[in-house]
Structure 1
Amino acid sequence: MTQPQAATADTTTQPMVAVTDLRRSFGTGERTVHALRGVSFTVGRGELTALKGRSGSGKTTLLNLVGGLDAPTGGSIALDGIDLASLDEDGRLALRRERIGFVFQSFGLIPMLTAAENVGVPLRLRKAPAAEREERAHTLLALVGLADHANQRPGELSGGQQQRVAIARALANQPSLIIADEPTGQLDSETGRSIMELLRAVVRSEGVTVLVATHDPTLMGLADRVIEVRDGRIVEEEAEQAA
């Protein structure tokens, strides 16, 4: 097993994410689909960066590669000073468990578990003691404004509340990076904005870096930077004024 090891250089001077000439193709011959075509960018520590683009532009493929859920056809990814290509599958699994939190459009909560138990799942996988899991879960639910809903199950919560639980779960192992794929896609515009404001607050309070894919232009003003992906390429990069 190749364990993720941070680079020996001072990582505080390195970007949290460094993507260089990243390429990803699917299929072979005439049926080859080029999902990413030489993408390069960096994400600074403690930064909220938004990826925008239409469906099929390559945003989700890019997030999966940065999160170590998929391997590129070419190019390189460094996360927190670690070259992902240097890791085997066990090493990538350890990286995801220890350094990355994921938030998905579909929430991904376990229906039979309470909100607190869902938040504690990453800690359970790490074999953390029950008392530590419970304390961390309640701290994080308070952070996302759900301290009074710890014992409710997902079916008893609204969509916005479920996504707040998912964000709390993503923070359970104190990750360096949160990757969020269309986290407001199933929510109304007002609830979606509150979720983006929560991610903005998490960046400030927890010191975590967030890379989020969204197609909603009204939410991009809360990001530090906006990167547009079109047909597998970056075509535009904007600095935004965070609210």
Structure 2
Amino acid sequence: MVEVQDVWRSFGAGATAVHALRGVSFTARRGELTALRGRSGSGKTTLLNLVGGLDAPTSGRIMLDGTDLAGLDEAGRLTMRRDRIGFVFQSFGLIPILSAAENVGVPMRLRKVPAAQREERVQTLLALVGLADHAEQRPTELSGGQQQRVAIARALANEPALIIADEPTGQLDSETGRSVMQLLRAVVRSEGVTVLVATHDPQLMELSDRVVELRDGQIVD
């Protein structure tokens, strides 16, 4: 599903250049939850941004579901992100004035999915994440764990092949964080989606199929 080949990402040039990634290579298989482990500054977020098409590598190659991201122009990357990738952020990223159901429906509105089909998908996803009874509540009326569950439902809206989650439990207590990770684990099974999650919490590694450790921009064997 994801193939990263000898990827470098540098910022700046010459003696002052900062090498955030140094020859990173790994694969994430379809229908697998892969955890990127490493301390802050290890390169996890940089790598997720590259795989998600939010940034481009200095050198190397990234294949996503058979597509070489380097061969896409900005419009092509935008379409890839909209149709094939779902994003889950540490800060939830929900729109405050919208209800849970409306937040989940936003990606489908961008694709101009018919209203009846959109509403059915929203109901299905809120049920999947255990929030069917909270559809009309706004983010401020939900707990942190519930907000992240809405964010996961939103990430699934367009039936992506890949979900990228950057520290999805970073603002949650350990018990709630584990519940969210268990939900991601269940999503892998029920939706057949690939999940790539960055975390520094060793307790969450137990729920992953594979753990890829980054240290100073390099994969640690």
**TM-score normalised over the length of structure 2:** 0.99
Provide the rounded CA distance (Å) in 2 between the counterparts of 1:31 and 1:55.
21
Number of paired residues? Answer: 221
Provide the rounded CA distance (Å) in 1 between the counterparts of 2:134 and 2:120.
15
Deviation at 1:25, TM superposition (A): 0.3
1:135 matched to 2:120? The reply is yes
SS at 1:120 equivalent:
helix
SS at 1:94 equivalent:
helix
Runs of 5+ unmatched residues, structure 2:
none
Provide the rounded CA distance (Å) in 2 between the counterparts of 1:196 and 1:55.
20
Provide the rounded CA distance (Å) in 2 between the counterparts of 1:66 and 1:100.
10
Letter in structure 1 aligned against 2:152: I
The counterpart of 1:151, out of the listed 136, 146, 157, is 136
Letter in structure 2 aligned against 1:201: A
Counterpart of 1:46 in structure 2 is: 31
Runs of 5+ unmatched residues, structure 1:
1-15, 237-243
The counterpart of 1:193, out of the listed 151, 161, 178, is 178
**CA offsets, 1:61-98, max 9 Å, x none?**
00000000000000000000000011000000000011
Letter in structure 1 aligned against 2:107: P
Counterpart of 2:202 in structure 1 is: 217
Superposition CA RMSD, Å: 0.5
Deviation at 1:29, TM superposition (A): 2.1
SS at 1:127 equivalent:
coil
**TM-score normalised over the length of structure 1:** 0.90
Counterpart of 2:40 in structure 1 is: 55
Letter in structure 1 aligned against 2:41: G
Deviation at 1:30, TM superposition (A): 2.3
Provide the rounded CA distance (Å) in 2 between the counterparts of 1:193 and 1:115.
21
1:102 matched to 2:71? The reply is no
The counterpart of 1:35, out of the listed 20, 35, 38, is 20
1:87 matched to 2:72? The reply is yes
**CA offsets, 1:186-211, max 9 Å, x none?**
00000000000000000000000000
Greater RCO (CA < 8 Å, at least 6 residues apart): 2
Q: Percent identity?
A: 82
1:207 matched to 2:189? The reply is no
